[in-house]
Amino acid sequence: MYPVEISGPRLAWRELTTGDADALIDMLSDPGLFRYAADQELPDVETYRGFLAEQIEAARTPERHRYKLGITVDGVIAGMGGLEMTSATATAAEIGYLLAPAYWGGGMGTEAASLLVDLAFDRLKLHRVFAGADPANHASIRVLEKIGMRYEGTRREDVFKDGKWRDSVTYAILETDARPAR
């Protein structure tokens, strides 16, 4: 499915373009945010633009299984994230999301995440949506709970970050579970 566009009351998800490279790198450079990402070096804008071009090309094929999208508020990039299946025929997808710190604390994370769940069940017709989080990332875990996901377990020493192995908690919601009203 391409292009994907989903709007909520306050924010929208849309396809990324190569023109977003500057805004995204700018956003990802925020030290308050990078703390939560797994160990990876930030690429320079040029490399990132090339990476986006590749992603967009793959997104236009029938085998599309990665929905890497941008979050906008009043038309301006405010975050990114998306949904990833292991293949185009998979029945489950993992979601992920991040917001620029300026947008934290007002329910936007919850709105963004619940729109991804709607995309997975209503449009992609998937059965299962899951997400992983660092056990110390309380805001993200709270978001997963608020969108109706249930705790399924803790993978021990699953993510290498800041020179240490960290556990990850897994949450999931099925198409047959209740989706809380928002």
Partner 1 sequence: MHPVELKGPRVSWRELAVADAQDMHDLMSDPQVFRYMSDTEVPEVAAYEAFLIEYCATITEPERIRYKLALTLDGELIGSGGVDLSPSGRKSEIGYMLASRHWGKGLATEAAALLVDFCLDTLGTHRVWATTDVTNHASRRVLAKVGLREEGVMRGYSFKDDVWHDSVMHGMVATDERPLRG
Using CB under 6 A as the criterion, which residues of the chain lie in contact with ligand COA when the complex forms?
33, 36, 96-99, 104-110, 133, 137-140, 142-143
Point out which span in 5-13, 58-66, 69-77, 158-166 binds partner 1 (CB under 8 A): 158-166
Closest among 32, 107, 114 to 81, alpha carbons compared? 114
Site for partner 1 in 65-104 (CB under 8 A): 91-92
Rounded to a whole number of angstroms, the minimum distance from the CB of residue 128 to partner 1 is 4
Q: What is the Cα–Cα distance from 116 to 127, expressed in whole angstroms? A: 13
Residue 116's CB: how many other CB atoms inside 10 A? 23
98, interface contact from partner 1, ligand COA, none, CB < 5-8 Å by kind: ligand COA
Q: Which helix (H) or strand (E) holds 12?
A: strand 12-15
154, interface contact from ligand COA, partner 1, none, CB < 5-8 Å by kind: partner 1
Helices and strands: H and E segment counts in the chain: 5, 8
22, interface contact from ligand COA, partner 1, none, CB < 5-8 Å by kind: none
One-letter amino acid identity for 122? D
Q: What is the Cα–Cα distance from 10 to 111, expressed in whole angstroms? A: 8
- Rounded to the nearest 5°, which phi and psi values hold at 84? -135, 130
Q: Which helix (H) or strand (E) holds 33?
A: helix 31-34
According to CB under 8 A, which one of 128, 141, 161, 163 is a site residue for partner 1? 128
109, interface contact from ligand COA, partner 1, none, CB < 5-8 Å by kind: ligand COA
Q: Is 156 in the site for partner 1 (CB under 8 A)?
A: yes
Rounded to a whole number of angstroms, the minimum distance from the CB of residue 100 to ligand COA is 8
